Amino acid sequence: MTIALGALLVGLAPNKPLLFAAFVLYGLGIGGVDASMNMQGVRVQAAYGRSVMANFHGVWSVAGIAGALYASGVTKLDIPLGVSLTVIAVFTLAIALPASRFFVEAREVEVGLSGEDLDVPWRPILLFGLVILVFYAADTGILTWSSVYLHDALDATKSVAPLAFAAYETGAIVSRFGGDFLVRRHGDVFVVRLGTAIGIAGLVGVVAAPAPPLAIASFFVVGLGLAILVPLSFAAIAGAVGPAAVDVAIARLNIANYLGAILGGALIGAAASSNHLRWAFVIPLVIVPSVLFVAKAFSVADVAEPTGR
């Protein structure tokens, strides 16, 4: 409800102070949903007794594309912002309220709001948080600068340049909808290492691309490799902490999403805005290999997954 109300107020705000307040409200809703939906995903995966988390994030990727198409459509039709955001608010409520009846309830644990009464180990939160931070740093850079890179550095036309991000998102969808199958066959550690290696290869292609076609193909490869890392990180935290501490651990782990976005926006944006667009993508190429050093930590998910099969 907070997201819907925030979106509605953004469209209707008559001045900047109210607009900023609406964005704050919207951000609070997004943060809560990010954390709570990953909590739901972990509970559903535990109920199934097999890897399904990547599919949930695959649906998120599909919805992201649908949202981009909606934004493009209302812009082309010159629909007022207030009207388009009102439609989004109504649609959000129409989906969220009925769906909430089917949410999996959390295990009842009597703790304070801060989770101080729980023994929540910080090591796995920091390890998996590093993976999520690295992904979102790369993801933010690609979201913001991939089209600019193709247009300004590789002389792509304005109609071709957006295909870079479209290719990246397509790779992410394939990765996430196919990732659970690979996890069931080969385990989380193997899939994390494979995804990281594929992502690194894709980033090398992006940096070295002499022309738009190779860059677009490389962005697809980046999405194909890296997109699996986040759902597996949230799934793995469940095997690394006690059942009573899972929700608190996921909430803390979720902070890495935004830290990564800030890091990616600051570092990659600084390089890109300094007319070094190609070098901007060297930054994720340098930081992504760090995931290989913590990939073994995902073995906790391999151990935990067979329960209930």
Distance of CA 114 to the CA centre of its chain: 25
Report domain extents, the chain: 2-103+118-304
- Whether residue 212 contacts residue 150, with contact meaning beta carbons closer than 8 Å, is answered with yes
Selection from 2, 47, 53, 59 nearest residue 26 by Cα:
2
Class of domain 2-103+118-304: mainly alpha
pLDDT by 10s per residue, the chain, length 309 = 788 888 888 888 888 888 889 888 888 888 888 888 888 888 888 888 888 888 888 888 888 788 877 877 887 788 888 888 888 888 888 888 887 777 777 655 444 444 455 677 888 899 999 999 999 999 998 988 888 899 888 988 887 888 898 899 999 999 999 999 999 999 999 999 999 999 999 999 999 999 999 999 999 999 999 999 999 999 898 888 877 788 888 888 889 988 998 888 888 888 877 667 888 899 999 999 999 999 999 988 664 544 433
Number of Cα atoms under 13 Å in the Cβ half of residue 143: 16
Rounded Cα distance between 134 and 89, Å, is 32
